[in-house]
């Protein structure tokens, strides 16, 4: 029997198509005219916010992604002229709940994006409820919603046709992931990219940690070079994500250095799609999701029940929640 993770991954083409025909005009109208747009999320939702920053930037907005904990406790409060987007797949993330409560109290323009079980009445609700604790389809759905909102505000390459093209490519990836080159590490793994591809590197690393319990980290190539690469050696694996997208060649350069240091190196690259760079991340992300599912099966870990033991203590997960 396939894991719930595999089932969720397989639902992504249909989810993209469902969001493509969703009317987002009313929600987009709330954001239109904002002097500054703040996108807030935690973990996977933060990665969606970071790609959302790129999408809304293409529409001419001053868009900024902020981690939910930082937005809730440490950032300067939103100011007049700001609008907010809060992303939480479940509606249960403590700091996202706090930022949502602050946004509702502020009276500023506000949009939330959640899954069907969140119970946030004002939210744009994505079509599929996650059944695995390794979140996949909810990430894809949130990115599709952000693309639709950005399209309504003028972003190129983010509308229904772009979502359909992305869904088509994801279906191809599900049939042929092209992951045979990626070895399982004996010790540790790094995934590296540039620009929006480094967001994909971090999201992929998170899936590998959650699903397969692999020590894996995602990097921007510059950050990897400036000290973080030092421990990588024989028995480790480095995955270079879309090195041709890096105009400075640094992703390819650190891959070469990793190989010379004894690490196994693989490359994941996608054909160009007629979509925004943010949506172009989705097929690559799905390939990394499938890698995580495959590694979980080989390592006999449970990708559907991830947070266990001392890591599941309620006090940890409720820290920062609104009163």
What is the per-residue pLDDT for 86? 97
Task: From 49, 55, 74, 227, select the one nearest 142 (Cα to Cα).
Answer: 49
Q: Are 13 and 168 in contact (CB under 8 A)?
A: yes
Whether 4-174 and 178-299 share one fold: the answer is: yes
What is the per-residue pLDDT for 118? 85
| Residue spans per domain, the chain | 4-174, 178-299
The superfamily CATH assigns to domain 4-174 is Glucose-6-phosphate isomerase like protein; domain 1 (3.40.50.10490)
Burial class (CB in 10 A: 0-12, 13-18, 19+), 88: buried
Q: In this structure, which CATH number among 3.30.499.10, 3.40.50.10490, 1.10.4000.10, 2.102.10.10 belongs to the domain 178-299? A: 3.40.50.10490
**199-213 exposure pattern, b = at least 16 Cβ within 10 A, e = fewer:** bbbbbbbbbbbbbbb
What is the per-residue pLDDT for 152? 98
Q: For residue 269, what are the contacts with CB-CB under 8 A and spacing of at least 6?
A: 241, 242, 243, 244
Count the neighbouring beta carbons within 10 Å of the beta carbon of residue 291.
Answer: 26
Residue with token string 């799609």: 273
Question: What is the pTM assigned to this prediction?
Answer: 0.96
Tens digits of pLDDT across the chain (323 residues) = 789 999 999 999 999 999 999 999 999 999 999 999 999 999 999 999 999 999 999 999 999 999 999 999 999 989 999 999 999 999 999 999 999 999 999 999 999 999 998 889 899 999 999 999 999 999 999 999 999 999 999 999 999 999 999 999 999 999 999 999 899 999 999 999 999 999 999 999 999 999 999 999 999 999 999 999 999 999 999 999 999 999 999 999 999 999 999 999 999 999 999 999 999 999 999 999 999 999 999 999 999 999 999 999 999 999 999 98
**C-alpha 273: how far from chain center:** 18
Strands (E), 42-168: 63-67, 82-88, 110-114, 124-125
- Long-range CB pairs of 118-121 (<8 Å, 24+ gap) are 118/88, 118/89, 118/90, 118/91, 118/92, 119/91, 120/91
Task: From 83, 82, 73, 76, select the one nearest 111 (Cα to Cα).
Answer: 83
């Amino acid at each position: 029997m396939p894991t719930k993770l595999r089932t969720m991954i397989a639902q992504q083409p249909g989810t993209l198509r469902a969001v493509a025909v969703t009317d987002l005009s009313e929600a987009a109208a709330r954001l239109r005219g904002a002097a500054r747009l703040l996108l807030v999320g935690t973990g996977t939702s933060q990665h969606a916010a970071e790609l959302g920053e790129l999408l809304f930037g293409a529409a001419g907005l001053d868009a900024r992604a902020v981690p939910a904990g930082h937005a809730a406790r440490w950032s300067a409060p939103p100011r007049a002229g700001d609008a907010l987007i809060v992303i939480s797949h479940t509606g249960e993330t403590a700091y996202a709940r706090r930022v949502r409560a602050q946004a509702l109290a502020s009276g500023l323009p506000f949009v939330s994006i959640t899954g069907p079980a969140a119970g946030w009445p004002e939210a744009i609700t994505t079509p599929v409820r996650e059944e695995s604790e390794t979140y996949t389809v909810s990430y894809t759905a949130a990115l599709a919603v952000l693309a639709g909102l950005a399209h309504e505000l003028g972003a190129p390459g983010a509308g229904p046709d772009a979502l359909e093209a992305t869904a088509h490519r994801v279906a191809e990836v599900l049939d042929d992931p092209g992951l045979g080159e990626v070895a399982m590490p004996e010790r540790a793994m790094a995934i590296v990219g540039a620009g929006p591809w480094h967001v994909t590197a971090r999201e992929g690393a998170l899936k590998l940690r959650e699903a397969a319990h692999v020590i894996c980290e995602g990097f921007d190539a510059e950050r990897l070079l400036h000290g973080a690469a030092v421990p990588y050696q024989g028995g480790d694996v480095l995955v270079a994500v879309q090195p041709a997208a890096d105009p400075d060649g640094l992703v390819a350069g650190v891959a070469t250095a990793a190989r010379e240091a004894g690490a196994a190196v693989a490359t994941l690259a996608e054909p160009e799609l007629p979509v925004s760079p943010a949506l172009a991340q989705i097929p690559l992300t799905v390939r990394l999701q499938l890698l995580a599912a495959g590694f979980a099966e080989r390592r006999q870990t449970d990708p559907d029940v991830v947070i266990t033991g001392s890591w599941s203590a309620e006090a940890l997960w409720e820290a920062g929640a609104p009163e």
